């Protein structure tokens, strides 16, 4: 039974005109409220994943649950369908189970709080915030087990419960949840910070209602949603063809030795609506790389891509959702059946952005972006220090952003635009490790008229014994280039043992033992290049040699001859470029690098690791059979 909204005043909102100045004030006030919600959370949380990196996302929605400002799209309608209870003033709902909210959060570690906003007994809006918790229990520190076979191995599964009931904290819920965590104090602090952010959003909404009245505020939200609908309707009509286009990309492996796993999407327009169909995507994995993708979340991803390419001034909201139809096959990698494991879904989440960029640019290649939003590299390090105190690090790394139609990709940037790195000083102060190298990897970005962003090398010297876990991708299949641009470099990880020898580490592994003095080299992928590299300004390549972004040998991929100081030999460059043009094939829209068969043949020699074996599909996974029985 769906949730019941209890309110003492259920009068319908009147249709009220809103003048442009008032609308602009309310729009920008909501934008600022979203920023203030973030600031409240980041200044109050304890875990570096939230406090330093910003792994959290806010939302303010209208009374119907439609997101007006935020990032991940509205999930409140799905929550209301699945919550069997009453919603009252002062309630705050906590949920940490993707299956309970139709994938609004995509793994258990993301803890979501949803708060109705009431004024004078009438529901007028919603605020919500979720953040990634460093630890919620489960089989491994960090609660993201690569080899999990079901969601039951991934820590605390929190069904929708009232954390606050009519304004009163239900303390036993916090005690039970924190009891599952290896970092209970961080969990409690982060949870209360999430609630505080929701309350800030609620206060700002009430202030707007005090200033303009509930009717005007509601009418302004309706107009902001309608304005977005009008803009997206025009963009879809002028930018999306009725003729289908398709693209497929791959997650390299599942952490158990199988791979790659295909994600395929086709796109076409039917009248005013665009259809995005994931038919052809591989079945769900028996490992934890499944991504339970909420349709509204993907609609928002689509909308953000459209807006940023065609009209960046449009405010992201849910107003256009009826113009987008998303079809995801049940039992696929992107809509797995309960209780499929979900903890390492980030690789599929990142690959969705690459696929979207390829789809939206096929008819207009000048707007294509290369690949590079490909994963979200994680490192976990945990153990007991010399004083017997437990330490636990969860850190998100950075790869190369792809080359774009208007310039180079950023070197070493996050999948999520709002994320920041954990400062090395913070890491060295609070964890028994030392950062010995933190630098861009020369030549790792794909060559092009606009270079792909370089990946990052971080070298961690461990000062205490412990265990590490690594979650990354793009180690087997490289990020592709576009319009003549070259693929980016693949990622790799290796561990120099203090006792001697070097060990190549998989991109997905848990419970790797490290000893004092061991040195981990963590190298992320580079972004694909955009455009013909022989058209790049030779003097710019020389400058990048001086800056350490391109090597002397790597400059030859651009047809540039230069010395170690970046001084370009103009005559030799002209000759080399002429020779390269004369002997190359026609430039392709997509350059994926070597074919899959070649990658399998050369994998071990290039990476020190065996190539992933082709997946074997089963009609029902072992975990699902056990649950059914």
Q: Using one digit for the tens of pLDDT, what is the confidence trace for 568-585?
A: 999 999 999 999 999 999
Determine the pLDDT at residue 628: 42
Peptide bond into 260 cis (omega under 30): yes
> Is it the case that residue 479 has pLDDT exceeding 70?
yes
Determine the pLDDT at residue 75: 78
Rounded average pLDDT over 499-509? 96
Between 416 and 24, whose confidence is greater?
24
Given 230, 251, 279, the domain boundary residue is 230
> Is it the case that residue 619 has pLDDT exceeding 60?
no
Kindly report the average pLDDT of the chain as a whole number: 92
What is the C-alpha to C-alpha distance for residues 349 and 250, in angstroms, rounded to an integer? Answer: 12
Asked whether residue 397 is assigned to any structural domain, the reply reads: yes
Q: Using one digit for the tens of pLDDT, what is the confidence trace for 402-415?
A: 999 989 999 988 76
CB 59 within 8 A of CB 128: yes
Which DSSP string do the residues of 428-490 spell out, in sequence order?
HHHSSEEEEEEEE-TT-SPPSSBPPPP-EEEEEEESS-EEEEEE---SSSPPPEETTPPPPPP
Determine the pLDDT at residue 312: 65
Task: Place 627 in a pLDDT band, splitting at 50, 70 and 90.
Answer: very low
The backbone torsions φ and ψ at residue 228, rounded to the nearest 5 degrees and listed phi first, read: -65, -40
Rounded average pLDDT over 412-427? 83
Asked whether residue 300 is assigned to any structural domain, the reply reads: no
Task: Place 602 in a pLDDT band, splitting at 50, 70 and 90.
Answer: very high
Q: 96 - beta bridge partners? A: 158
Determine the pLDDT at residue 267: 96
Asked whether residue 125 is assigned to any structural domain, the reply reads: yes
Least Cα distance to 508 among 27, 146, 68 occurs for 146
Determine the pLDDT at residue 167: 96
Q: Using one digit for the tens of pLDDT, what is the confidence trace for 186-226?
A: 999 999 999 999 999 999 999 999 999 999 999 999 999 99
Asked whether residue 603 is assigned to any structural domain, the reply reads: no
Report the b/e string of 441-472 with b at 16+ CB within 10 A: bbbbbbbbbbbbbbbbbbbbbbbbebbbbbbb
Determine the pLDDT at residue 493: 97
Least Cα distance to 445 among 352, 550, 521, 541 occurs for 550
Residue 396: exposure state from Cβ atoms within 10 A (0-12, 13-18, ≥19): buried
pTM of model > 0.85? yes
Asked whether residue 319 is assigned to any structural domain, the reply reads: no
Q: Pairing relation of β-strands 324-327 and 273-277?
A: parallel
Q: Using one digit for the tens of pLDDT, what is the confidence trace for 259-296?
A: 999 999 999 999 999 999 999 999 999 999 999 998 88
Task: Place 624 in a pLDDT band, splitting at 50, 70 and 90.
Answer: very low
Instruction: Record the tokens describing residue 376, joined without a space.
Output: 């979200």
Task: Please report, for residues 44, 49, 53, 428, 629, the alpha-carbon distance to residue 423 in angstroms, rounded to integers and kept in the order given.
Answer: 18, 11, 9, 9, 48
What is the C-alpha to C-alpha distance for residues 489 and 242, in angstroms, rounded to an integer? Answer: 35
Task: Place 623 in a pLDDT band, splitting at 50, 70 and 90.
Answer: very low
> Is it the case that residue 616 has pLDDT exceeding 90?
no
Determine the pLDDT at residue 360: 86
Token pair 């059946």 in the structure block, residue: 337
> Is it the case that residue 393 has pLDDT exceeding 60?
yes
Least Cα distance to 550 among 569, 570, 533 occurs for 533
Determine the pLDDT at residue 6: 85
Q: The domain containing residue 83 runs over which residues? A: 4-230
Task: Please report, for residues 376, 402, 467, the alpha-carbon distance to residue 397 in angstroms, rounded to integers and kept in the order given.
Answer: 7, 16, 18
Rounded average pLDDT over 299-321? 79
Token pair 């529901």 in the structure block, residue: 123
What is the C-alpha to C-alpha distance for residues 486 and 597, in angstroms, rounded to an integer? Answer: 19
Task: Place 1 in a pLDDT band, splitting at 50, 70 and 90.
Answer: low
Number of domains in the chain: 2
> Is it the case that residue 620 has pLDDT exceeding 80?
no
Asked whether residue 610 is assigned to any structural domain, the reply reads: no
> Is it the case that residue 629 has pLDDT exceeding 70?
no
Task: Place 626 in a pLDDT band, splitting at 50, 70 and 90.
Answer: very low
Determine the pLDDT at residue 3: 82
Residue 20 contacts by C-beta under 8 Å, 6 or more apart in sequence? Answer: none
What are the strands, taking DSSP E only, across 242-371? 245-251, 261-270, 273-277, 324-327
Given 532, 551, 582, the domain boundary residue is 532
pLDDT above 90: percentage of residues in the chain = 79
Instruction: Record the tokens describing residue 325, joined without a space.
Output: 């139809």
Least confidently predicted of 196-205, 308-317, 556-565:
308-317
Asked whether residue 482 is assigned to any structural domain, the reply reads: yes
Asked whether residue 527 is assigned to any structural domain, the reply reads: yes
Determine the pLDDT at residue 271: 94
Given 230, 254, 272, the domain boundary residue is 230
């Amino acid at each position: 039974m769906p949730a019941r909204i209890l309110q003492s005043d259920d009068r319908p909102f009147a249709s009220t005109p809103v003048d442009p100045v008032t609308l602009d004030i309310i729009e920008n006030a909501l934008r600022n409220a979203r920023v203030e919600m973030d600031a409240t959370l980041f200044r109050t949380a304890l875990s570096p994943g939230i406090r330093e990196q910003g792994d959290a996302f806010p939302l303010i929605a209208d009374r119907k649950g439609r997101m007006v400002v935020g990032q991940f799209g509205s999930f409140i309608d799905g929550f209301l369908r699945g919550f069997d209870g009453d919603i009252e003033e002062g309630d705050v709902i906590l949920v940490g189970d993707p299956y309970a909210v139709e994938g609004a959060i995509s793994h258990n570690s993301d803890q979501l709080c949803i708060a109705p906003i009431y004024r004078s007994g009438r529901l007028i809006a919603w605020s919500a915030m979720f953040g990634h918790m460093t630890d919620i229990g489960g089989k491994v520190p960090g609660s993201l087990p690569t080899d999990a076979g079901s969601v039951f191995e991934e820590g605390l599964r929190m069904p929708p419960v009232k954390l606050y009931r009519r304004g009163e904290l239900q303390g036993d819920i916090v005690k039970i949840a924190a009891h599952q965590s290896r970092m209970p104090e961080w969990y409690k602090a982060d949870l209360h910070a999430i609630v505080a952010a929701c309350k800030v959003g609620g206060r700002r909404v009430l202030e707007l209602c005090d200033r303009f009245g509930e009717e005007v505020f509601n009418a302004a939200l309706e107009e902001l949603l309608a304005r977005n609908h009008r803009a997206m309707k025009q963009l879809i009509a002028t930018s999306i063809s009725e003729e289908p286009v398709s693209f497929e990309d791959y997650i390299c492996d599942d952490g158990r030795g199988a791979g790659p796993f295909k994600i395929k999407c086709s796109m076409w327009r039917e009248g005013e609506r665009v259809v995005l169909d994931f038919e052809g995507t591989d079945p769900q994995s028996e490992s934890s790389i499944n991504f339970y993708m909420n349709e509204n979340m993907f609609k928002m991803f689509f909308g953000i891509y459209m807006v940023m390419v065609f009209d960046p001034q449009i405010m992201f909201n849910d107003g256009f959702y009826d113009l987008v139809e998303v079809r995801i096959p049940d039992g696929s990698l992107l809509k797995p059946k309960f209780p499929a494991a979900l903890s390492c879904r980030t690789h599929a989440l990142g690959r969705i952005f690459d696929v979207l960029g390829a789809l939206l640019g096929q008819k207009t290649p000048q707007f294509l972006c290369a690949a590079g939003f490909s994963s979200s590299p994680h490192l976990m390090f945990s153990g007991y220090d010399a004083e017997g105190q437990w330490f636990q690090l969860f850190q998100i790394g950075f790869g190369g952003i792809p080359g774009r139609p208007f310039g180079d990709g950023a070197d070493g940037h996050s999948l999520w635009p709002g994320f920041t790195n954990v400062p090395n000083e913070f890491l060295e102060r609070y964890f028994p490790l030392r950062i010995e190298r933190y630098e861009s990897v020369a030549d790792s970005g794909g060559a092009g008229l606009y270079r792909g962003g370089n990946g990052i090398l971080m070298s961690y010297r461990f000062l205490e014994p412990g265990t590490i876990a690594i979650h990354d991708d793009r180690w087997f299949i490289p990020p592709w280039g576009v319009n003549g641009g070259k693929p980016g470099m693949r990622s790799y990880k290796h561990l120099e043992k203090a006792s001697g020898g070097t060990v190549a580490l998989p991109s997905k592994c848990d419970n790797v033992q490290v000893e004092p003095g061991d040195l981990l080299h963590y190298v992320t992928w580079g972004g694909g290049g955009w455009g013909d590299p022989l058209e790049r300004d030779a003097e710019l390549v020389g400058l990048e040699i001086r800056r350490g972004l391109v090597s002397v040998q790597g400059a030859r991929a651009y047809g540039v001859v230069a010395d170690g100081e970046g001084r370009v030999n103009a005559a030799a460059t002209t000759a080399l470029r002429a020779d390269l043009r004369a002997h190359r094939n026609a430039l392709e829209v997509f350059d994926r690098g070597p074919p899959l068969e070649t990658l399998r043949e050369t994998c071990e020699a290039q990476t020190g690791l065996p190539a992933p074996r082709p997946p074997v599909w089963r009609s029902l996974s072992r975990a699902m059979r056990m649950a059914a029985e």
